[in-house]
Chains A and B, each alone.
Chain A
Amino acid sequence: MNKKGPLYAIFFSLFLLLPGCSSLTVLNPQGPAAKTLSDTIILSILVMLGVLAVVYILYTIMLVKYRAKKSNEGYIPPHEEGNIWLEATWIAIPIIIVAFLSVVTVKTTHAVENVPADYKDQKPLVIYASSSNWKWHFSYPEEGIETVNYVNFPVNRPVEFRLYSFGPISSFWIPQLAGQKYAMSDMTTYLNLVANTQGDFLGRNTNFSGKGYAQMEFTATSMSSDDYDKWVKDVKSTASQLTEDKFKSLLATAHVGRETFSSTHLTFSPPPAEHSEHMDMDHSNMDHSNMEMSTDEHTHQSN
C-alpha cells in the first residue's frame, strides 16, 4: 500500500510536463481568452499538486509507521477524541486555498466573458452562430453573408459570437481560442474571442445532441484583415442567396459539407429574443448585459 503514494506523485508530475506538450489542445492557446483559461488551469493544477503532496506524505507516514507488525504485537492504540488545534488547522488552510481560488475564478471568469482587455478599443465583429442537427450556421449580419460548417474572421480583432440553436442544446467550442458556451433555442448567448495567430482551428459541439453529434465539427479560420475583406467581397459577388426554402431544406438535412451564401437567414428567421420574457424575473442573471444590449447593439458586456 505504501508504495502507491509515490506512484501517484509520478502520475501527477506528468501533468507538469504537459503544458510544454502542444498536443494538449486546451493548454495550447492561440488567443487571449484561451490563454487566460490555460493559465488558470495550470495554476490550479500546481495548487492541487501541493494539496495532493500533503495528503500523500501524511498517508505514507501513517501506513508505514503504524502498520501491524511483529514488533508492535500487543500494542494497544490510545483513545483519541481529536485535537481542536489540529482540526482548526485543516479547516483554516483549505479555506485560504478556496478563497484564493475563488478570487482567481471570479477575475478570470469576468475576463473571458468580456472583450479581452487589450482589444476593447476595437469594434467587435458580430457573427451569429446557430446550431441545428448536426451543423453550424454562421451569419454575418453586417456583411450580409452566411456560411455552414466553417467560419472566417480577421486575426487580432475581437469577434462576438451570438449563439442559439434550432434544436437540442449544443455547446460552441473552439478550444484553442476560447471556452465554450451553450447554444439554446429560446435565448441568445454570447461568446467573445480574439485569435492571435492566423490559421485553422477545430471547433465543435461538445454537448450531446443525438446520432450525428460525433461529426458536428466546424473549422474556424483566422486570416489577415485584407484576406478577410477579399473573402467577403468574393462571397457577395459569387455565392447564391439563401432563400427561406433553401434554409429549411438545410435545417432538415442531417449532415452537409461547407456551404456559402450571400445573404443570411436572420431576415426571415430572426434569432430568439436577447432575453426571452420568462427570463425577466431572473435579474441576477444577465440583466445588466440585457440593458446594454437594448441600448447598444454593437458590444456585449457581461458583468
Chain B
Amino acid sequence: MTAPDRTVAGPGTKAGLDPKAGPGPASGPDPIAGTSPITGAIPVADPDSTTPGLDSDLLASPPVSPRRAAWRRFLKYRLALPGLIVLTLVVLGAVLGPLLWQVDPNAVDPAQYRNPPSPDHPLGTDSAGRDVLARLIVGGRVSLAVGLAAAVTATFVGILLGALAGYARGWVDSFLSRVCEVMQSFPTIIVIITFAAFFGPSLVTMIIIIGLMEWTGGFRVTRGLTMSLREQDSVVAVVGLGARNSRVLFRHIVPAVLGPATVIATGMISGVIMTEATLSFLGLGVPPPSSSWGTMLNQAQSLRILESMPWMWLPPGIAIAITVLSVNFIGEGLRNAVDPRQGQR
C-alpha cells in the first residue's frame, strides 16, 4: 500500500523559493498532481498513500465561497429577499422619483389648499398647497439619508472602538467600556434634542448626533467578538506567523466582526428613521421648507387632518412603515447570513 514519496527539490535541500528548483517534483513520475484524469467514475484507487488529494467530489463541485454560502443563508429567511426588493424600490423611488414626477415640492399654491388626490396631485396637497407626492419623494431622500448615514457612522465608530477595546484590553478597554455604559444610561432622545436645539436643526447635525450617540450597540458586539476572536486558533495562528497587530486587527478580526455589525446597523436604520421622525415631529428635524417623512407627519398633526384628510399623513406613515419593515426583514436575513451554523450542508 505504500508508494514512494515524491521528492521535492532534491533531498536535503529545502523545497523553497529557489528559482532553479522549479515547481513540483524534480524527478520521477508524479501519479497525482496533474496527471490523473478527473472523470466521473473513479476506477483506480489513489496510488499514493500519502496523497489524499484525489478527492474527486471536491474538484468536481465548483468552489462555494463563504460569500455565496452567506447569500444562500440570507435567502433562507423567506422575507429577506422581498424586504431587499422593496427597500431597493423605495431607495430608487427617492433617488429617481424627481425625474419621473417633475413637480416642485416646495411650490406653494394657496389655491390648492389641502386638496384631496386628483389627477394633477395624485396624493393631494398639504396645508401650503404643496404636492404631497413630490414632498414624499424628496422627504424620502432625507429620511433614508439620515437613516443610512447615521447608522453607518454609529456602526463605524462602534466597530472601531469595540475592536480597539477588545484587542488592547486592559485600561483602554476599561475606559471605553465605562464611556459606553455612561452613554447607554443617558436618555438618547433628550441628549439629541438638547444638541439639536443648541446647534440648530440641520441634516448634518442630526446625522452626527445620532451617529455619535448610538455607537454603543456596535461597540458592545464588536468588543465581545474581538475578545473571543483574539483567543481563537485561527487568529493566534496569524500572530504566530509574525503578523503585526494592525494586520491581525484589520485583516482578521474586523472582517469577522463586519457581518454581525451589519446586523446591528440594519437594526439601527429603522430606529434612526423613527428618531428622525420624532425629532421632526417635535420641530427639531430638518428645517423647513425641506421635507422629510417625519416633518410631513409633523405638519399633519391636527385632529381635523387626522380625521378627514388621510392623504396628508397616510403616505409618509406608510412609507416609514414599509421602509422600517423591509429593513427589519433584511436584518433578520443578515442575522442568518452571518451565522455559519445556519443551513450547513
Q: Do A and B bind each other?
A: no
